[in-house]
């Protein structure tokens, strides 16, 4: 936050500062090197999506769907919704080629309030819930691997989150190193389980019951798959740094998500070929490790299990590295309580220590109030509330910019955007019906952002921002 010198007109002072910030932002966007090509963009899509879901969710999907055939359909439908969503978001990314992603799109199309609410939810719900869920998933695998009591997963998860928060606070180069190593490692267990499971397995795949008498339905099953597919939108964060976003973005989304969908289906087919669906449902988070042991023996199974843990560890590191950038950006604009503290960047390390700490504290609280599946469902529900707005924004921009030519258009318009909207709407409604308490809590936290926005809008900086925009 800026401090107005005594004897200076506050309105003139803040208007001048805002204009300086705006000019700096435009210069920064212009100076961003446009070095990202198709291969790098595809790597961002694949690397951002593949994390814990493919190893942690097969059991949850089978349990919710009721049998193996419906579970496979849930993975296919989840992939279709995700691909339609990605192709729709690309049009926004091309029409709004700015670094920042969802937050920027909503602010550009719907105004500052909706952009603020999106950032508010990402800061208070989505980011911390994702970090907490990944920490618990990792803790569960480590406890199972070393035959520790199940209660240890909480403390292992907490310790891992604290360690990675410290690593990323000491400098982005350290977090980046962890990310590079883990990204290469995460593909090994996927390829090993998929190839050898389909090759060596001899179990029946289709029509196998989950062994669970009460199932929550396809809505819950598809929601679980969307956790595994989540992360595709991160490629939009760097649209302003691509050589030719109109060509690269759609190709990266289509190829990247197609590769991910095939990989996920292959792993599920392999697991069902090795273990009965009822066993996968019963083992839950530990099903992938058991499949690896059955395929490769004790030592080989442990090596694959370590690869799975490396994948989740790297995914957690990536979230702790990137998620604090949202509260940091909001705090720099005075849009959060304690903005003066949250906007500070350590002079020596060059990292947003307090923004990172805020995400970790919220994640720790969530760890003690929810299991990982519950937290992942809350996270997906919260972010899809705003994804739907982004999908609808395509229709708004086409009407608003009807006289302008587009370098990229959603294929099969308006079918694909409608698939994204209707599919996401189905997930939202199903989540509310299956989990009303958690969704009500998420909606309440979202609504609380409105009075907070209005309260913070009373400060001179945001008031000047409003006046400057009006002028």
Residue 468 within any structural domain of the chain: no
Least Cα distance to 255 among 468, 27, 43 occurs for 43
The sign of the dihedral angle between the CA atoms of 67, 69, 75, 77 is negative
Q: The domain spanning residue 387 has which CATH number? A: 1.20.1740.10
Residue 262 within any structural domain of the chain: yes
Residue 399 within any structural domain of the chain: yes
Per residue in 352-389, pLDDT (tens digit) is 888 889 999 999 999 988 788 888 888 889 999 999 99
Phi, psi of 36 (to 5 degrees): -80, 120
Residue 23 within any structural domain of the chain: no
Per residue in 271-309, pLDDT (tens digit) is 999 889 899 888 888 888 888 888 888 888 888 888 888
Please give the full DSSP string across 15-58, using - where no structure is assigned: HHHHHHHHHHHHHHHHHS---B-HHHHHHHHHHHH-SSHHHHSH
Cα gap 49→249, rounded to integer Å: 15
Per residue in 404-419, pLDDT (tens digit) is 777 778 888 899 999 9
Per residue in 38-85, pLDDT (tens digit) is 776 777 677 778 877 888 888 889 998 889 899 999 999 999 999 899
Residue 471 within any structural domain of the chain: no
Phi, psi of 242 (to 5 degrees): -95, 150
Cα gap 11→69, rounded to integer Å: 64
Q: How far is CA 463 from the centre of its chain?
A: 32
Q: How many domains does the chain have?
A: 1
Q: Residue 465: what pLDDT?
A: 47
Residue 210 within any structural domain of the chain: yes
Domain that holds residue 308: 49-457
Residue 18 within any structural domain of the chain: no
Query: What is the three-class DSSP state of 414?
Result: coil
> Could you count the other beta carbons within 10 Å of the beta carbon of residue 213?
6
Residue 161: pLDDT band (50, 70, 90) is: very high
Residue 373 within any structural domain of the chain: yes
């Amino acid at each position: 936050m800026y401090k107005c010198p005594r004897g200076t007109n506050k309105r003139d002072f803040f208007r001048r500062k805002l204009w300086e910030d705006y000019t700096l932002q435009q210069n920064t966007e212009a100076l961003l090197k446009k070095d990202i090509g198709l291969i790098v963009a595809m790597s961002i899509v694949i690397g951002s999506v593949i994390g814990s879901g493919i190893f942690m969710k097969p059991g949850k999907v089978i349990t919710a769907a009721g049998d193996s055939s419906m579970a496979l359909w849930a993975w296919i439908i989840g992939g279709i919704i995700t691909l339609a969503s990605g192709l729709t978001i690309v049009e926004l990314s091309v029409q709004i080629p700015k670094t920042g992603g969802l937050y920027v799109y909503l602010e550009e199309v719907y105004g500052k309030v909706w952009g603020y609410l999106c950032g508010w939810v990402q800061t208070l719900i989505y980011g911390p819930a994702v970090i907490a869920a990944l920490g618990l998933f990792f803790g569960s695998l480590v406890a199972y691997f070393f035959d520790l009591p199940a209660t240890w997963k909480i403390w292992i998860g907490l310790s891992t989150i604290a360690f990675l928060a410290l690593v990323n606070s000491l400098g982005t180069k350290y977090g980046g190193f962890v990310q590079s190593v883990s990204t290469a490692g995460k593909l090994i267990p996927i390829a090993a389980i998929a190839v050898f499971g389909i090759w060596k397995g001899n179990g029946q795949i289709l029509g196998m019951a989950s062994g669970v008498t009460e199932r929550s339905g396809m809505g819950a099953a598809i929601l679980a798959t969307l956790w595994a597919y989540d992360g595709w939108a991160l490629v939009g964060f760097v649209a302003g740094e691509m050589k030719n976003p109109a060509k690269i973005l759609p190709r990266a989304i289509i190829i990247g998500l197609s590769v991910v969908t095939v990989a996920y289906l292959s792993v599920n087919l392999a697991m069902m070929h090795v273990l009965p669906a009822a066993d996968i449902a019963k083992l839950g988070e530990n099903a992938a490790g058991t499949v690896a042991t059955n395929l490769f023996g004790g030592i080989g199974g442990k090596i694959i299990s370590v690869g799975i843990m490396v994948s989740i560890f790297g995914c957690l590191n990536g979230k702790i590295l990137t998620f604090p950038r949202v509260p940091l950006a909001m705090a720099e604009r005075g849009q959060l309580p304690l903005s003066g503290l949250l906007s500070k960047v350590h002079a020596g390390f060059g990292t947003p220590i307090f923004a990172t700490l805020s995400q970790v504290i919220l994640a720790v609280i969530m760890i003690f109030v929810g299991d990982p599946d519950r937290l992942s469902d809350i996270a997906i529900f919260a972010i899809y509330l705003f994804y739907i707005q982004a999908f609808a924004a395509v229709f708004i921009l086409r009407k608003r910019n009807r006289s302008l030519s587009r370098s990229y258009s959603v294929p099969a318009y308006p079918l694909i955007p409608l698939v994204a909207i209707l599919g996401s709407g189905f997930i939202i409604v199903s989540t509310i019906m299956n989990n009303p308490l958690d969704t009500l809590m998420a909606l309440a936290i979202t609504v609380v952002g409105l009075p907070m926005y209005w309260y913070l809008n009373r400060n001179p900086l945001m008031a000047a921002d409003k006046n400057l925009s009006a002028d």
